[in-house]
Structure 1
């Protein structure tokens, strides 16, 4: 069971700055909407995406993690009498 769960985990993806900038450019109006969003709206969005940012001061980089399926649990149980 544990091996099945581990096998279904997504692999970590690393993207370049250029790829990220291109994706943001493709968002178009969504990017502008995010710029105009209130802190409360952004907090709700980031919370629902399970967005996590970790800033590294030494090299001025940010690790970004998004886990929108974090609350999903694959459940299996045995039915019937014990």
Structure 2
């Protein structure tokens, strides 16, 4: 089994109201020194077969076509070890 992780984040120039809300709440909860928060999403995808460059490219295509909005979001894809 192959497991891949897709991390999707708003592009730096895009306003992130959820991140700003979290940033505003942290000091009220006693957490000081946080200068910025960006909120994104994470997908864990398991595929049949062994990890390969071909599967990595397939997951990148999934991220580009469905899991992210390339106009306002960036994404990163990486393989993750599968624990037995």
What range describes the TM-score normalised by the shorter chain of this pair? under 0.3
Choose between structure 1 and 2: higher strand proportion: 2
Looking at secondary structure, tell me which structure has more helix per residue: 1
Max radius of gyration: which structure?
A: 1
Bigger relative contact order (CA 8 A; separation at least 6): 2
Give TM-score scaled by structure 1 length.
Answer: 0.27
TM-score by length of 2: 0.27
